[in-house]
Structure 1
Amino acid sequence: MAGPPPKPWPTGLTEQLEPLVRRVLAPNPSPYTYTGTQTYIVGSEDRVAVIDPGPDDPSHLDALARAIGDAQIAAIMCTHTHRDHSPAAAPLAERTGAPIVGCAPLVLDDSGPRADASFDRGYSPDRVLLDGEGMTGPGWTLTAVHTPGHTSNHLCFALEESGALFTGDHVMGWSTSVIVPPDGDMSAYMASLDRLYGRADRVYYPAHGAQIDNPRQLVRGMIGHRRQRENQIIRLLAEYGPASAADFVPRMYKGLDPRLSGAAEMSVTAHLVDLERRGMVTRSEDIWTGQ
């Protein structure tokens, strides 16, 4: 994971990225969110969609109101329901009367520790978009692209008129996505990467980090990186023998920020679960063994 760029960051400011796309950075930087969550406003002066409204922070909601101006909000669209992405949807809908549209709500039975941001259990959409469904406005069309993996309910949104893809946390401009079982699923994540690699998007706008101007090249590298990680796990099991997921972290992540050790352990676990399904490792309680 790369370190953040030097300050000042454009927190609360409206950045025009292309004719139909503006961006507002939320004030929630952290080791997991980089400089913060980036909310995108898509559309014309008259009617817009708001993608990933971000945390329920009054200053961010005020910044969004300034950026939106007098435009009508056709939809508040969430890529997934981590608490750095969707909680502002409800207060923004209350302020504006706009519907909440996008990913499905997610309710987990598991209450174990999580390395990534907690889930927004209060998220309640007015409409759930299925793969290929979308929203339209004057001169713009946003289409949902189902990309499970980071979370089971993750969506990307394709802006058909410009070739832009809003990638949420599935592909980010500063780091690979954290996959946290049981809801995060490495097999689904890899399949979603393969799906994006088969598309012809011009640019990615992620929820964290810089825009991505070479999408297919980056996705190809991400797929290769994940395959290297799983090969590394198999090699370490052969070299050192049975191990817990935590045992892999210091061997695989040299110089890791200690604050990210939990995320690294969860990513290793996600790889191990995927390898177990494929019959390449076995598990006895918390100990993993190579085949």
Structure 2
Amino acid sequence: MSVTNNKRLKIIRVPIPTPTLWPHTSTNCYLIGNEHESILLDAGYNQPETKQGLDEVIAKHNLAKPSSILLTHFHPDHAPGVLQLVDWEATIFCHFQEKEAILDAIAPINTVSVLKDGDELTVAGVKLQVIHAPGHTPGHLNLYIPSEKVLLAGDNILGEGTTWIGKPDGDMTDYIQALQRLQNLEINKLGPGHGDWVLAPHQQIQFVLDRRLQREQQIKELLADHKKVSTTELTKLIYQDHIHPSVFEVARRTTEAHLLKLVNEGIVFQEDSQFSLKA
């Protein structure tokens, strides 16, 4: 757990144990507020440890019980933990494109409020800016706190490594555009979806952008060498058995997302499950 605070506002990262993707073992929830008012960003996994961990931090830091819960996206390590928090009677927020997926993830809760890009929330007198930053999922949200120069980035940025992008939820073009937009924000500190606070946020965002663009170039070079390959074959060529077996499938999906971006740009041709460079 770590804390950013001033006299008005505390921003507390609360890592909650979750069965998320290796090498991470927890999902970050963020408590934002003071003794008068607070909100929660993301709710972790649907397990008792979620409520226990959050309640302990709320008491330790003398925070008001959150009146709102904002969910960055619907994935099972970020959203369903709200089922452990129903006694808070908090309003649940998500992006309007993610509403149905969120409702599926948190059933039997059947009411959420929707947000769009540019909406503002206020907590403890401080404005929080909602940013629609799709790519990992269609309705993925980030939360920017201009007065603190803090960005809470959900799964767009991780404390270690890079996030996966791919079907059925992800889109590589959207993701790269979202990162380019985030890079233009005035940020001194970034709260990732998994891992520790990022204290050099612009460098980390650029690292992820560079990694994605380097991977795209590598894919084009491999297609030039091997003529026609499937996503599985291409992923094996890229990683050469140097990734943990548990994440091979998400690596394959991310490779596929790059390929589909190149197909849409007219650079790559797809025939059934095979991909090749256009002549």
In 2: Cα distance, 1:36 partner to 1:267 partner: 22
Structure-1-length-normalised TM-score: 0.86
Q: Tell me what 2:161 maps to.
A: 175
Q: Tell me what 2:76 maps to.
A: 83
Please tell me the root mean square deviation across aligned C-alpha atoms, in Å.
1.9
Structure-2-length-normalised TM-score: 0.90
**Contact 2:19-2:77 at 8 Å conserved across structures:** no
Residue pairs, 1:83-162, within 5 angstroms: 83-92=76-85, 94-104=86-96, 105=98, 107=100, 120=105, 122=107, 124=110, 126-162=112-148
In 1: Cα distance, 2:82 partner to 2:129 partner: 19
- Among 230, 238, 243, the alignment partner of 2:229 is 243
Q: Tell me what 2:15 maps to.
A: 25
Aligned residues: 267
Q: Quote how far apart the aligned CAs of 1:152 are.
A: 0.3
Q: Tell me what 1:231 maps to.
A: 217
- Among 217, 222, 240, the alignment partner of 2:203 is 217
Of 148-157 and 33-42, more deviation after overlay is shown by 33-42
Q: Tell me what 2:275 maps to.
A: 288
SS of residue paired to 2:66: strand
- Among 46, 63, 69, the alignment partner of 1:56 is 46
SS of residue paired to 1:262: helix
Q: Per-residue displacement from partner, 1:208-232 (whole Å, max 9, x unpaired)?
A: 0121111112212211111111111
In 2: Cα distance, 1:121 partner to 1:96 partner: 15
**Contact 1:166-1:205 at 8 Å conserved across structures:** yes
In 2: Cα distance, 1:51 partner to 1:263 partner: 25
In 1: Cα distance, 2:23 partner to 2:122 partner: 29
Q: Per-residue displacement from partner, 1:28-63 (whole Å, max 9, x unpaired)?
A: 154347031011100111210101111111122122
In 1: Cα distance, 2:99 partner to 2:252 partner: 23
**Contact 2:159-2:196 at 8 Å conserved across structures:** yes
Q: Per-residue displacement from partner, 1:64-120 (whole Å, max 9, x unpaired)?
A: 12222361323111111101001112431x211111113333557xxxxxxxxxx82
SS of residue paired to 1:42: strand
Q: Per-residue displacement from partner, 1:110-137 (whole Å, max 9, x unpaired)?
A: xxxxxxxxx8263755311111112212
Of 218-227 and 121-130, more deviation after overlay is shown by 121-130
- Among 191, 204, 208, the alignment partner of 1:205 is 191
**Contact 2:33-2:64 at 8 Å conserved across structures:** no
Distance 1:200 1:158, change over 3 A: same
In 2: Cα distance, 1:90 partner to 1:99 partner: 13
Distance 1:107 1:287, change over 3 A: farther
In 1: Cα distance, 2:32 partner to 2:105 partner: 23
Q: Quote how far apart the aligned CAs of 1:278 are.
A: 0.1
In 2: Cα distance, 1:33 partner to 1:61 partner: 24
Amino acid at match of 1:203: K
In 2: Cα distance, 1:235 partner to 1:182 partner: 26
- Among 252, 255, 265, the alignment partner of 1:268 is 255
In 1: Cα distance, 2:124 partner to 2:251 partner: 43
Amino acid at match of 1:96: W
